[in-house]
Amino acid sequence: MHERGFMKRERVFKYSLCCRLIISLAIAFCLSRIGLVSPALGQSAGAAPAQIDYDETTHTFRIDGGGVSYMFGVNQNGELQTLYWGKRLRSDDPIPPAHADGGTSSFDLSVNATPQEFVGWGGGLVVVPDLKVSFPDGNRDLVLRYVSHAIQGNTLTVTLKDISRDVVVDLIYRMDEETGVLARSARIENRTQQPFTIEQVLAATWNLGPSSNYQLRYLTGRWVGEWNLQQTTLHPGKVVLESRRGSTGDEVNPWFAIERTDQRDEDVGDVWFGALGWSGSWQINVETDWQNRVRITGGSTPFDFSYVLAPGQSLETPKFYGGYSDEGIGGASRLLHRLELDSIVPEAPHRRLRPVLYNSWEATGFDVDEGEQEALVEKAASIGVERFVMDDGWFGERKDDHAGLGDWYVNPQKFPHGLKPLIDKVHSLGMDFGLWVEPEMVNPDSDLYRKHPDWVLNFSGRPRTEGRNQLVLNLARDDVRAYVYGFLDKLLSENDIAFLKWDYNRNWSEPGWPAAPIEEQKEVYVKYVQNLYSILAELRAKHPHVEIESCSGGGARVDLGILRWTDEVWPSDNTDPFDRLSIQNGFTYAYAPGLMMAWVTDSPNWMNGRSTSLEYRFLSSMQGSLGIGANLNKWTPEDFAAAKRLVAEYKAVRATVQDGALYRLISPGNSEYSVTESVARDGHEAAIFAFLHSSQKGQPYPQLYLRGLDPDAEYSLHMQEGKLADGTAQRASGDYWMHHGVSISLRGDFQAAFFTLEREAAR
């Protein structure tokens, strides 16, 4: 590994990069000392460095990590041209140096025909630009050229600059050694003497070579119907995945996967995938050009956006993660899961397993009070629950969703002695305590709004559209940020709270910021999210034992940005165990099962009236992080006994389910069946959950061909719930279970089974 450049200016830039690095390290150190950044920021410092090389004769960069190689070079025009992204290559494999395409006609200029890593709008560009600016003199042309680069461990920074103006762009590439996932972002710096306006800035462009066989997959949804996998064949044109909602949203999730249709299989074939680390409005463009080349660009959406960069200022984009797997969409998911658990979530790579929690939201709604919660505490403890969470309704004048948000004092009628007696009771039974909050919102019927009506997003003199009777606080404002941090810090300082369920129950409307200078008002899209992250970072630094769940009326704020600061997410308000099978299946394309909170609730289900057995409900939820959200006051002694058994069974396999490698053996989709298999990281165990919707015409349950086992090892099978088909073996080789398979007996409607395979010690 070495770092070298070939332009004269490089030394100056390298020097300044070096100084900047030393200064940022010093600042990070100081901030961490005073508690402004979480230790998570520097957590992967100990990871083995990826291989990053620069060949100065061919001007080619090569980044290797996991099973992936990523290559680009500087072409004869000084453009940064993508050369290869895919399976790791041998070091002597021939990759021709970068050479700009001449363009195919006077209509298709070279700048559009050449796949570039990051491109400014200028010089005839018609594809999606990564950066578009306008200067005060009316010039809007921006042409970026390579200047220098620096390699630091597993991070490569390449500096580009406009051909005549001091607009400097640092492209940052950070390779994850284990998964080969590359995190890319860009930092735009104004070194001119005048401010200029950024009209569009995306994090990166990913390029795929020409093929007429690409298939795009992405995830769409709505409230109680999140995480639907969509697929479409790519043809020349553009697919735009976007949220204009102010936050991530559930309409589309900021994740994509592209595979070759001629090879498609769950666990076989080339797949390129990516996800954005950003919890505000966002955009991913998948453009297929006239040569069937695909360019993927993404970052915060340019819609209704502008950002004024004053001289000396810089703006860093969110991260756009990209990866490759030759093990199909299943392999792509497993790489993302690994990345999330080992290097994104706050405690990574030493993340604690999710405790089994209880939450009474579906049982008691807003009617929480000391006596009633304490009664539930005892019942929850009796089945092995480890965390008791009190949901909405405990604060301000909160009786329903019309009032109280913003007033974060404990309601004195419901809790005359504060939260302490309840928390003490929870602790006395060996559990920890969690609390629901919705910090970014306010009801107009609240003391906070009456005092500070100007604190919400709004346009002066225009209506303020309510959603669920609430408005969105403008977190971009310093006074709002201080208020939100202040009440949360006080709550966590005064009460022994181990967990916050951080909710966010509506999208933005009228996203105005009247108090800011007019030309800066659209910066709200960036500054809001930056302040959200900084509040989370500061709280985590000051209260390091507190864990946080990201909830947004279900799964409307799940992305790799919020996951840097939260330990788990709530994927959907839909807790029907059958619907959950497809919701959870969709979730796992992009996110790890261990991040997904899944409650067992009452039957018939509140939403669709469907009745299912307690066992079926448990097994559905046991495929993620198990929670219980049923009204325990209505349970029979038999229910308690069954729940106790199932909680114990879950605890025995939860490390495998939460942290292991997931194989979607049968995705629910259009099928009657749904089967997942999780294999422990060290391979000692596999946990298999199988579901049947309805038996039809005497059809037996399909044979289950397991995956990810050691072919030569010996495994014993343990049926935990349900029945094996007669004559099924109890002990056999990995090859046997993967190729002969397991035959289980499931008949009827809404049936489920759960079994484990345990690797035997070598004889």
Q: Which of 436, 485, 525, 673 binds ligand GLA (CB under 6 A)?
A: 436
Decide: is 499 part of the binding site for ligand GLA (CB under 6 A): no
Question: Any alpha helices (H) in 511-613, and if so which ranges?
Answer: 524-542, 577-590
Backbone angles phi, psi at 585, to 5 degrees: -60, -45
Closest CA to 7 of 145, 144, 147: 147
Alpha carbons 395 and 410: distance in angstroms, whole number = 4
Q: Which of 176, 392, 602, 615 binds ligand GLA (CB under 6 A)?
A: 392
Q: How far is the CB of 406 from ligand GLA (least distance, A)?
A: 14
Among the listed ranges 315-323, 343-351, 426-434, 548-556, the one in contact with ligand GLA (CB under 6 A) is 548-556
Angle at 682 between CA 681 and CA 683, to 5 degrees: 90
Among the listed ranges 101-109, 159-167, 536-544, 549-557, the one in contact with ligand GLA (CB under 6 A) is 549-557
Identify each DSSP E strand in 248-335 by its residue range. 255-260, 271-277, 282-288, 294-300, 307-309, 314-316, 319-325
Decide: is 523 part of the binding site for ligand GLA (CB under 6 A): no
Question: Any alpha helices (H) in 237-276, and if so which ranges?
Answer: none
Structure tokens that stand for 446 in this block: 């609240």
Decide: is 579 part of the binding site for ligand GLA (CB under 6 A): no
Structure tokens that stand for 336 in this block: 């993302």
Q: Helix, strand, or coil here: 676?
A: strand
DSSP assignment string, 616-646: HHHHHHTTSEEEE-S-GGG--HHHHHHHHHH
Q: Identify which of residues 64 and 503 has a Cβ nearer to ligand GLA in the complex.
A: 503
Structure tokens that stand for 760 in this block: 């035997």
DSSP assignment string, 3-35: ----STTHHHHHHHHHHHHHHHHHHHHHHHHHT
Closest CA to 624 of 705, 560, 555: 555
Q: Identify which of residues 392 and 568 has a Cβ nearer to ligand GLA in the complex.
A: 392
Alpha carbons 606 and 456: distance in angstroms, whole number = 33
Among the listed ranges 25-33, 100-108, 476-484, 550-558, the one in contact with ligand GLA (CB under 6 A) is 550-558
HSE, CB side, 13 Å, CA atoms: give it for residue 217: 23
Q: How far is the CB of 557 from ligand GLA (least distance, A)?
A: 11
Q: Please count the other Cβ atoms lying within 10 Å of the Cβ belonging to residue 46.
A: 7
Q: How far is the CB of 556 from ligand GLA (least distance, A)?
A: 9
Q: Identify which of residues 307 and 570 has a Cβ nearer to ligand GLA in the complex.
A: 570
Task: Output the residue with the shortest Cβ distance to ligand GLA.
Answer: 392
Q: How far is the CB of 544 from ligand GLA (least distance, A)?
A: 25
Cβ atoms of residues 122 and 130 within 8 Å: no
Q: Identify which of residues 322 and 627 has a Cβ nearer to ligand GLA in the complex.
A: 627
Q: Which helix (DSSP H) or strand (DSSP E) does residue 692 occupy? A: strand 685-694
Q: How far is the CB of 601 from ligand GLA (least distance, A)?
A: 11
Among the listed ranges 98-106, 484-492, 551-559, 669-677, the one in contact with ligand GLA (CB under 6 A) is 551-559
Q: How far is the CB of 391 from ligand GLA (least distance, A)?
A: 5
Decide: is 627 part of the binding site for ligand GLA (CB under 6 A): no
DSSP assignment string, 171-208: EEEEE-TTT-PEEEEEEEEE-SSS-EEEEEE-SEEEEE
Cβ atoms of residues 570 and 551 within 8 Å: yes
Q: Identify which of residues 285 and 550 has a Cβ nearer to ligand GLA in the complex.
A: 550
Decide: is 625 part of the binding site for ligand GLA (CB under 6 A): no
Q: How far is the CB of 357 from ligand GLA (least distance, A)?
A: 12
Among the listed ranges 446-454, 491-499, 546-554, 586-594, the one in contact with ligand GLA (CB under 6 A) is 546-554
Alpha carbons 356 and 598: distance in angstroms, whole number = 10
Q: Which of 503, 559, 579, 659 is catalytic?
A: 503
Q: Which of 130, 170, 391, 573 is catalytic?
A: 573
Give the DSSP letter of residue 355. Answer: P
573 is catalytic: yes
Q: Report CA-CA distances (Å) from 613 to 304, 551, 601, 749.
A: 49, 27, 11, 10
DSSP assignment string, 60-107: EEEEEETTEEEEEEE-TTS-EEEEEEEEPPPTTS--PPP-----SBTT
Q: How far is the CB of 739 from ligand GLA (least distance, A)?
A: 43
Q: Identify which of residues 98 and 437 has a Cβ nearer to ligand GLA in the complex.
A: 437
Q: Identify which of residues 296 and 500 has a Cβ nearer to ligand GLA in the complex.
A: 500
Among the listed ranges 63-71, 447-455, 547-555, 590-598, the one in contact with ligand GLA (CB under 6 A) is 547-555
Alpha carbons 132 and 198: distance in angstroms, whole number = 6
Q: Identify which of residues 318 and 434 has a Cβ nearer to ligand GLA in the complex.
A: 434
Q: Which of 553, 627, 708, 734 binds ligand GLA (CB under 6 A)?
A: 553
β partners of residue 159: 148, 170
HSE, CB side, 13 Å, CA atoms: give it for residue 732: 13
Q: How far is the CB of 438 from ligand GLA (least distance, A)?
A: 7
Backbone angles phi, psi at 357, to 5 degrees: -115, 160
Decide: is 455 part of the binding site for ligand GLA (CB under 6 A): no
Q: Which of 248, 288, 505, 620 binds ligand GLA (CB under 6 A)?
A: 505
Q: Identify which of residues 185 and 574 has a Cβ nearer to ligand GLA in the complex.
A: 574
162 is catalytic: no
Q: Which of 361, 388, 589, 715 binds ligand GLA (CB under 6 A)?
A: 361
The number of residues that bind ligand GLA (CB under 6 A) is 11
Q: Which of 573, 576, 602, 649 binds ligand GLA (CB under 6 A)?
A: 573
The 3-state secondary structure of 696-715 reads CCCCCCCCECCCCCCCCCEE
Decide: is 391 part of the binding site for ligand GLA (CB under 6 A): yes
Q: How far is the CB of 401 from ligand GLA (least distance, A)?
A: 6
Q: Which of 287, 503, 523, 721 binds ligand GLA (CB under 6 A)?
A: 503
Q: How far is the CB of 449 from ligand GLA (least distance, A)?
A: 18
Decide: is 554 part of the binding site for ligand GLA (CB under 6 A): yes
Alpha carbons 30 and 16: distance in angstroms, whole number = 21
Q: Identify which of residues 415 and 663 has a Cβ nearer to ligand GLA in the complex.
A: 415
Alpha carbons 256 and 241: distance in angstroms, whole number = 9
Alpha carbons 438 and 403: distance in angstroms, whole number = 13
Q: Which of 309, 551, 590, 596 binds ligand GLA (CB under 6 A)?
A: 551
Alpha carbons 687 and 675: distance in angstroms, whole number = 11
Q: How far is the CB of 255 from ligand GLA (least distance, A)?
A: 21
Q: Identify which of residues 242 and 503 has a Cβ nearer to ligand GLA in the complex.
A: 503
Decide: is 249 part of the binding site for ligand GLA (CB under 6 A): no
Closest CA to 474 of 521, 518, 519: 521
Structure tokens that stand for 411 in this block: 């309601």
Decide: is 406 part of the binding site for ligand GLA (CB under 6 A): no
Q: Identify which of residues 573 and 615 has a Cβ nearer to ligand GLA in the complex.
A: 573
Q: Identify which of residues 289 and 392 has a Cβ nearer to ligand GLA in the complex.
A: 392
Q: How far is the CB of 595 from ligand GLA (least distance, A)?
A: 16
Positions annotated as catalytic residues are: 503, 573
Binding footprint of ligand GLA on the chain (CB under 6 A):
361, 391-392, 436, 503, 505, 551, 553-554, 570, 573
